[in-house]
Structure 1
Amino acid sequence: MFLISLFLSTLFLAYSNGANDNFKGVATLFGSRTTSYQTAILWATFTTFAGGLAATFFASTLVRNLSGQGILPDAIANAPEFHVAVAIASGLMVLVAALTGFPISTTHSLTGALFGAGLVAIGLKVNFVALGSLFILPLFLSPIIAISLTATIYSLLKYSNYQWNLEANQKAIDACHFISAGIISFARGLNNTPKIVSLIVIIEYFSIQGGMITVAMAMALGGLLNSQQIAATMSEKITAMNQIQGLSVNIVTGLLVIAATQFGLPVSTTQVSVSSIFGVGLIERKTNVSVFYKLLISWVLTLPTAAIISGITYRLLQG
């Protein structure tokens, strides 16, 4: 019974992840009116799903057991009810955020859910030091790095536009913008699919490859059906943007995602993409600061809220 519940709750998390995350890679396409919302979400769906499918070829190295991550002993985290609590709590947190237009980090939601269930399972024996690399550092570093780097990249592209009239070659700029959005979405699917699949690896009758494909499908569906509010926040509410600004955001997001993967930098893809959009608006003094502050608060509250939901869920499942 718990194994069936685990499978369904993991699909719920994958769907929620897609709803909150899939549009982030293409937000600048819609925000700069390079494409329509429909074209942007279809491109995000296709490239995210492609990234999820590509993960099947790297399953042996990419699937990570998120139930550990140095937070608590693996033996404690192997119980199906623990995984169910983590999947339900993080999935609910991410989906509610998506439906209300708050782009939050799925990884931070998972981290919070792990801590919440862990506190109920073993009390204060959970590794609080792990919070530094998993939550606190990304929360502080991601916005600072992204805003600074985006402001620099955009300033350079803006200067280049004045010098060489880049807009005269608008088709090339749009093509680069479109490709960069696809690369970001592909990378996100490649990275997030194994994280979610790691929750169901304890189901011995379920292959990792089958899990990858199923999770990728659920992620794609979630983004296709429930991305509207995230799109409104990221594409319109933070700042108005043009094609050069949108391309600048995608360059920075892509660079930081690749660098984080390569060098183990503690940054959040969600916070990088949102902060990059804020950064280009800051240069033009067109940012909606109140919206960005609300997003910052939601990022701070992600972990404790997910922890509370997970702890309660785990206790109920134990009963």
Structure 2
Amino acid sequence: MDLTVIVVLVIALAVFFDFTNGFHDTANAMATPIATGAMRPKVAVTVAALLNLVGAFLSTEVAKTISGGIIREGPGGVEITPTMIFAGLIGAVIWNMITWLRGLPSSSSHALFGGLIGAALVGAGTGSVDFSVVLSKVVFPAVLAPLVAGLVAFVASRLAYRITRRPVGKNQRGGFRVGQIFTSSLVALAHGTNDAQKTMGVITLTLIAGGFLTADAEPPFWVILVCACAIAAGTYTGGWRIIQTMGGGLTDIKATQGFSAEASTAATVLASSHLGFALSTTQVSSGSIIGAGLGRRGSTIQWGTAGKIVIAWFITLPAAGAVGAVCELIARLGVAGLIIDAALGVAVIVGIFVASRRKPAVQSNALEVDVAMNSVLTRHDRRVLAKKRSDELLAERRRMSDESPLFGLGAEEEVR
């Protein structure tokens, strides 16, 4: 098969991966403001899509890490072919679709890295991967970033509740709900500066491997534009299964916690983008939500759900790598191998999509109730119902406080 045709196929698959990255990671920015009622679902995903589009143009440091860091492709290094990149992308896309079906906020970034590394190891040997860059730019940030973001969100939540311990006036802590609009928008912008660049890096790597760019080339403008539009389009489609998990499956998010979690996520991701760390915004966002949940006394963390998410984090890179490696073995058959790889990829993607239609997300957690509320109730109705829920919860806590004085410390504080 002509090299140009292979490069075009790889670029098309990379753009599709960018699209899946968008709807897979929408929850990173918009799960908490939707859960707290700060933004309506459609408005939230529209804002996220636009800001992902803008963010993709702000930096290319992460793209350089991928196109000229993790995989060695230039003179003096082991050459990687577009066929290997094609195999790696199939591994990443398949893993993204599987975790989306399960509603697991796994890392699209690590799926991409795993697929590429697996294919490169099989196709070009261990010398094709710069493991020092993998450790410094991928593994260490993956371990440290969620912990740092969670700690910052915990401290921010504690400070926010401490400062507003005795709210004055009718609005009480309503200002945090308004603040969520800005912090969640900042997360969406940060996501564009980090995640969109990963696909830019892959396409640039493909063009370098195909001889269309020099080894030290930066992403061309058309690559930046295409990737920005693809991730924005994917973000706009929603990704509601993962939004449900992160908005209501980890903890009962209040506006104060949502504000703290989003501010922590945005700060961590923006700093990482500046340093060229190919960070997982999903891991950072999940860590921030858990930290913010721990920061509110009386809140409950669903550790079972959190455990599943952590397991998905650990197995994402090797699982995608295994699929990428198998696809590269098949691709060695030549044109027939590429056709088989493409057919298998399409079959898995279509099968997962059909399965998702047969088994829609079960409406069982607090976030899905909020999504339904935002869809059918007027603003006044939502305020009345929210006030009723708050009053009922406060009355219940006061009753329990009377029965057990130790339980009631800060009861009124915790329902806000």
Taking structure 1 as the reference length, the TM-score comes to 0.88
1:22–1:220 CA contact under 8 A, matched in 2: no
CA distance in 2, matches of 1:166, 1:302: 48
Matched, 1:315 2:332: no
CA distance in 2, matches of 1:30, 1:211: 32
Alignment CA distance shift 1:266-1:8 (3 Å): closer
Q: What does 1:134-173 correspond to in 2, within 5 Å?
A: 134-163=137-166, 165=168, 168=171, 172-173=175-176
Alignment CA distance shift 1:168-1:277 (3 Å): same
What letter corresponds to residue 160 of structure 1 in structure 2? Answer: I
Q: Deviations over 1:189-235 (max 9, x none)?
A: 12222321222230749x82222222222212222225111111111
Match of 1:185 in 2: 188
Match of 2:64 in 1: 64
> CA RMSD, aligned part only?
2.5
**Secondary structure class of the residue paired with 2:69:** coil
1:141–1:266 CA contact under 8 A, matched in 2: no
Match of 1:288 in 2: 302
Alignment CA distance shift 1:208-1:99 (3 Å): farther
CA distance in 2, matches of 1:198, 1:181: 26
**Secondary structure class of the residue paired with 2:66:** coil
The answer for unaligned runs of 5 or more in structure 2 is 214-218, 334-416
CA distance in 1, matches of 2:122, 2:133: 17
1:177–1:246 CA contact under 8 A, matched in 2: yes
1:65–1:199 CA contact under 8 A, matched in 2: no
What letter corresponds to residue 239 of structure 1 in structure 2? Answer: T
**Secondary structure class of the residue paired with 2:237:** helix
Q: What does 1:65-144 correspond to in 2, within 5 Å?
A: 66-74=66-74, 75-125=77-127, 126-144=129-147
Matched, 1:174 2:186: no
Match of 2:197 in 1: 194
Q: Please state how far the C-alpha of 1:70 moved relative to its aligned partner.
A: 4.0
Alignment CA distance shift 1:267-1:10 (3 Å): closer
Match of 1:246 in 2: 258
CA distance in 2, matches of 1:280, 1:228: 22
* More deviation, 118-127/154-163: 118-127
* More deviation, 90-99/294-303: 90-99
CA distance in 1, matches of 2:314, 2:73: 26
CA distance in 2, matches of 1:300, 1:79: 28
What letter corresponds to residue 123 of structure 2 in structure 1? Answer: A
CA distance in 2, matches of 1:240, 1:304: 32
1:22–1:48 CA contact under 8 A, matched in 2: no
CA distance in 1, matches of 2:138, 2:66: 14
Alignment CA distance shift 1:108-1:197 (3 Å): same
1:76–1:121 CA contact under 8 A, matched in 2: no
CA distance in 1, matches of 2:271, 2:263: 12
CA distance in 1, matches of 2:144, 2:290: 15
Q: Please state how far the C-alpha of 1:71 moved relative to its aligned partner.
A: 4.5
1:117–1:310 CA contact under 8 A, matched in 2: yes
CA distance in 2, matches of 1:270, 1:45: 16
What letter corresponds to residue 82 of structure 2 in structure 1? Answer: P
Taking structure 2 as the reference length, the TM-score comes to 0.69
Q: Please state how far the C-alpha of 1:68 moved relative to its aligned partner.
A: 4.1
The answer for unaligned runs of 5 or more in structure 1 is none
Match of 2:272 in 1: 260
CA distance in 1, matches of 2:169, 2:185: 22
1:16–1:92 CA contact under 8 A, matched in 2: no
Q: 1:8 aligns with which of 12, 35, 40?
A: 12
Q: Deviations over 1:119-155 (max 9, x none)?
A: 1023333444444224432332123222222111100
Work out the number of aligned pairs and report it: 314
Q: Over alpha carbons, which structure has the higher Rg?
A: 2
Q: What does 1:40-55 correspond to in 2, within 5 Å?
A: 40-52=44-56, 54-55=57-58
Q: Please state how far the C-alpha of 1:250 moved relative to its aligned partner.
A: 0.9
* More deviation, 166-175/221-230: 166-175
CA distance in 2, matches of 1:181, 1:81: 38
Matched, 1:37 2:49: no
1:68–1:77 CA contact under 8 A, matched in 2: no
2:90–2:324 CA contact under 8 A, matched in 1: yes
CA distance in 2, matches of 1:291, 1:231: 13
Structure with the largest fraction of helix = 1
